[in-house]
A and B are shown apart, each in its own frame.
Chain A
Amino acid sequence: MSKQIHLAAHFPGVNNTTVWSDPRSLSQIEFSSFEHLARTAERAKFDFLFLAEGLRLREQGGEIYDLDVVGRPDTFTVLAGLAAVTEHLGLAGTINSTFNEPYEVARQFASLDHLSGGRAAWNVVTSWDAFTGENFRRGGFLPEDQRYERAERFLRTAWELFDSWRGDEIVADKEAGVFLTDPLAGSFAHRDAHFDIAGRFNVPRSPQGRPVIFQAGDSDAGREFAASAADAIFTGHGTLQAGKDFYADVKRRLPGHGRSREELLVFPATTVVLGDTDAEAHEHAAHIRRQQVSGQTAIRFLEQLWNRDLSALDPDGPLPDFDPEPGENTIAKGRASVRRHRDPVATARQWRELAEAKQLSIRELIIEVTARQSFIGTASRVAAEMNRFVQEDACDGFILVPHLTPGGLDEFADAVVPLLQERGVYRTEYPGGTLRDNLGLPPLRNPRRSNRNAS
């Protein structure tokens, strides 16, 4: 039997993916937008809807960045609301492990899992910058080499809290007057270099035992963290070959952590542009890209790499022939895209060579280098291509990032999903009750022995 494709939806915003100027683009903040996207995803039998997180508005040149979507609601609150208007869709949220505490986050995820009947998922991220820390009393600056260590410790700590209830304590026997069988249910004690906490976790074991764990991050430490602890990994590896290399690498790491290949799914983020003909789809895609990357956006993006004011440049002209300024995150603050380029001078050289070879203006260059993996073409071409990626082990599925809010997945759901179903590579009904079931992840091992028994 063919490998089954998994699909998920990302609610777009903040990065310049959203074409907010389109008349069909509605609110980025009203619940109706989230509800529309979630209902479409569920109609199309997607595994989950994914929300990113932001904890400080981005700045450039000392001012709040105003060209892209600015502002978004609280992740937990929206996901709990969406649990009310969906039945099967997984509810995945990025929650930072730097500016939160394990007890609080574990409590919220366990609550979300209860309130959604077992559909919660957590994308564990760590932010290290002092810029974001300025919104929090604990500050939160972390040296970069401690990022994954803190994330891992945070996750392990939360995990102990999830496992502090075995799941059979509550009997609620009215006649006998026994609500719970274990007077010490929820007891925990955890001490490591980052967390020193003890007491009683007050949310009983949730339907999934714990949320499904997602991880994003491409460094060696990030891959190792994912292989050790995550159920799914988000990637940016777009091309077939890059995807296959990444896929092979992370799956190869699993046995070293006592895990099988089925215990970690790989999801690249991707975009889809459809047309009645391939040519029409490509024309449409080019139009979308030009809406996403205005001349101003291109200049500002260039400034993030060059780390200096380039506002005098013409976006339709050539790239600057001077090199980026040394230093990190000085002109642009709070933008993840800046951090991808470890060696700005080398990247600038590559971009100049690319622009010269292809005769690209600044704007055309930025359009080219910021493109996500895209499936562009007729519905049948897109279905075939997506299937190829999955069957050839470049990934296990995709997180679709639509360019329109909230209707950006409607066409995909109507046109592509039925074709995947016809091929027998995509479900027609949800197979299970929980997100974990629907992702085909193996059952959780039994809760570890609680700390009071271990000590």
Chain B
Amino acid sequence: MAPPELHLAVALDGAGWHPAAWRRPQARPAELFSARYWVDLALEAERGLLDLITFEDALGPQSSRDDGPDDRTDQVRGRLDAGLIAARVAPRTQRIGLVPGVVITHTEPFHISKAVASLDYISNGRAGWQPKVSGLRSEAAHFGRREVHTAELFDEAADHVEVVRRLWDSWEDDAEIRDVATGRFIDRAKLHYIDFAGKWFDVKGPSITPRPPQGQPLVTALATDSAGHRFAARAADVVFTTPHDVEQARLVESRIRAEQAEAGREQDRLHVFGDIAVFLGADAADRKAGLDELDGAEYTSDAPVFTGTAAELADRLQAWSAAGLTGFRLRPGAIPEDLTAITRELVPELQRRGLFRTSYDTGSLRGRLGLPRPASRYATTSGGRP
């Protein structure tokens, strides 16, 4: 039997995940705030037939500190809204999934719901999002929200995602009827108040935006600890995890499956992807060392940091995949080199091993990940999941 195909995502952030990546000769740091830069990267990822791109985001400047902005001038500072980057890229791409990061600690689920639904329309069913919590007091001060209860952030996030999902379901798929005989544009019996009332949100609904092409656009979540695992298992379709070896991969996978069962979601397909920061090529270790020297510190990450050739990375993905991970999200250390190494070296290597697709299917992002298009939870006719 052929080995199972694995899924591949790429996480884009500035000039790459290494803070000195912008100083590589091929980097385009002056273009980080231009549309062309992001379109070029998305097209490169699409040439590699990747499942999806995530776009990093935050509601404050990047920093080398954990607790707020620093005063460094030798690293990239500033970033555009990831949701708008994804929307800008959508008409220029055809197949690849587009998954912006969205900080949900200070934002309104009603706005987020319609934004991601609209991204799904623009991209013809390729939208997702990565809800992110922010425990930084410095970011709370941008919103005048003085108290941030760190311990509750993930519970709040779970409610946020629940509101968003209910809003997506609040229009049944066939609510627009354009019935000339009765003069009705919609059948209002197929629009539903969500009436969510919780500790952080009271949202009436229905959405202003009709149910998007995927029904439920993809919900992803980065989970690096037990609180994150629980949130992701409750709320997400794809979990990004950060195991550092094959044993941890096995352990994390089983923990998430246990949380999934705890949340009553055993019947749902839940992907567990491993996140890896990658420096690829024969010169990868030297290249990373050079960047470390420029930055004045060794690059570290919550995810494992890989240096090596595409063939060596393929070995690792194959082994970790056997431990239960269904895919990987690769964080290119330096763009464009590590992105093109993924699309032009790693992907062909995985294809040779029969582990990766050789062409895109025509379906939605959910379809590519084997996730069914769910019926609206409010649907009164022909219920159940198709």
Name A's B-contacting residues (CB within 8 A).
Answer: 20-21, 29-31, 35, 54-57, 63-64, 66-74, 76-78, 80-81, 83-85, 99-101, 103-104, 107-108, 110-112, 114-117, 134-138, 165, 170, 172, 174, 177-186, 195-200, 202-204, 294, 296-297
Contacts and interface: CB of A to CB of B under 8 A. Distances in A.
B61 A200 contact: yes
B83 A117 contact: no
Contacts of A195: 144
Contact of A73 (B70, B110, B121): B121
Contact of B178 (A21, A57, A63): A21
Given A83-B88, A104-B107, A202-B59, A174 B210 contact: no
A83 B143 CA distance: 28
B77 A185 contact: yes
Given A55-B208, A135-B110, A200 B35 contact: no
A412 to B, nearest CB: 25
A29 B186 CA distance: 13
B200 to A, nearest CB: 6
Given A71-B171, A111-B84, A84 B90 contact: yes
A78 B205 CA distance: 21
A170 B73 CA distance: 9
B118 A73 contact: yes
A80 to B, nearest CB: 4
Nearest to A134: B204
A224 to B, nearest CB: 26
26 contacts: A63-B188, A66-B188, A67-B183, A74-B114, A76-B81, A77-B114, A83-B35, A83-B88, A84-B89, A107-B81, A114-B34, A114-B80, A115-B35, A134-B202, A134-B203, A135-B110, A174-B27, A177-B23, A183-B71, A184-B71, A185-B78, A197-B144, A199-B69, A200-B60, A202-B60, A296-B183
Contacts of B173: none
A108 B88 CA distance: 12
A198 B61 CA distance: 13
B72 A84 contact: no
A98 to B, nearest CB: 11
Interface in B304-319: none
A108 B82 CA distance: 9
B341 to A, nearest CB: 20
Interface string B145-183: 000000000000000000000000001000010101001
Interface string B53-83: 0000011111000000111111111111101
A172 B110 contact: no
Report which residue of B33, B119, B143, B171 has the largest number of chain A beta carbons within 10 angstroms of its beta carbon.
B33
Given A73-B209, A202-B79, A115 B73 contact: no
A320 B200 CA distance: 47
Contact of A54 (B176, B188, B208): B208
4 A-B pairs closest in CB distance: A80-B87, A183-B71, A73-B118, A77-B118
Nearest to B38: A115
A337 B114 CA distance: 24
Report which residue of B38, B111, B176 has the largest number of chain A beta carbons within 10 angstroms of its beta carbon.
B111
Interface residues of B, number: 81
A110 B78 CA distance: 12
Given A114-B34, A179-B73, 6 more contacts: A77-B87, A84-B92, A137-B108, A172-B29, A199-B139, A200-B142
A163 B198 CA distance: 38
Given A66-B188, A115-B88, A294-B183, A73 B106 contact: no
A77 B81 contact: no
A81 B114 contact: no
Contact of B209 (A63, A72, A115, A203): A72
A315 to B, nearest CB: 11
B1 interface: no
A78 B60 CA distance: 24
A183 B176 CA distance: 52
Contact of A80 (B88, B202, B203): B88
Contacts of B38: 115
Nearest to A34: B122
A172 B73 CA distance: 10
A128 to B, nearest CB: 17
A185 B83 CA distance: 23
Report which residue of A55, A56, A73, A85 has the largest number of chain B beta carbons within 10 angstroms of its beta carbon.
A73
A170 B205 contact: no
Interface string B285-298: 00000000010000
B138 interface: yes
A199 B81 contact: no
B141 interface: yes
Contacts of A84: 35, 39, 88-92
B78 A108 contact: no
Contacts of B171: 71
A112 B178 CA distance: 33
Report which residue of B23, B60, B75, B114 has the largest number of chain A beta carbons within 10 angstroms of its beta carbon.
B114
Given A35-B91, A135-B203, A117 B107 contact: no
B78 A204 contact: yes
B183 to A, nearest CB: 5
Contacts of A136: 108, 110, 203
B372 interface: no
B108 A29 contact: no
B323 interface: no
Contacts of A297: 183
A81 B30 contact: no
Contacts of A177: 23, 74, 294
A188 to B, nearest CB: 9
A94 to B, nearest CB: 13
Nearest to B70: A183
Contacts of A165: 78
B191 interface: yes
Contacts of A78: 87, 118, 122
A20 B185 contact: yes
Report which residue of A72, A202, A294 has the largest number of chain B beta carbons within 10 angstroms of its beta carbon.
A202
B151 to A, nearest CB: 19
Contacts of B204: 56, 134-135
B177 to A, nearest CB: 9
A169 B338 CA distance: 28
B22 A115 contact: no
Given A68-B185, A114-B80, A30 B29 contact: no
A41 to B, nearest CB: 16
A296 B85 CA distance: 43
Interface in B86-119: 87-92, 106-111, 114-115, 117-119
Contacts of A85: 91
Contact of B186 (A66, A74, A137): A66
Given A111-B80, A200-B61, A57 B23 contact: no
Nearest to A196: B144
Report which residue of B60, B75, B201 has the largest number of chain A beta carbons within 10 angstroms of its beta carbon.
B60
Report which residue of A69, A110, A177 has the largest number of chain B beta carbons within 10 angstroms of its beta carbon.
A177
B191 A64 contact: yes
